[in-house]
Amino acid sequence: MSWIALRACASFYRAGLPAPDAFAGEVIAALARAGVFRLRACLVGTMA
């Protein structure tokens, strides 16, 4: 995970936003590694 993503996650946590569970985090990380977000994909629903 990049330092920008880590800082964003830390900021969200400090703001009181709920963190995703481990499974959701793994799914989102796998999507990011596969490059779907570079292709302009977006998350909708609970994982967003």
Residue 45: what residue type? Answer: G
Instruction: Compute CA distances 45 → 4, 6, 7, 42, whole Å.
Output: 24, 22, 23, 10
pLDDT score, position 1: 60
Q: Cα–Cα distance between 24 and 45 in angstroms, integer?
A: 12
Q: Cα–Cα distance between 14 and 39 in angstroms, integer?
A: 30
Number of domains within the chain: 1
Find the domain containing 29 and state its range.
Answer: 1-48
Lookup: tokens for 38: 């570079």
pLDDT score, position 35: 92
Q: Cα–Cα distance between 21 and 14 in angstroms, integer?
A: 17
The per-residue pLDDT for range 10-44, each reduced to its tens digit, is 898 899 988 778 898 888 889 989 999 899 888 88
Higher pLDDT pick, 3 / 14: 14
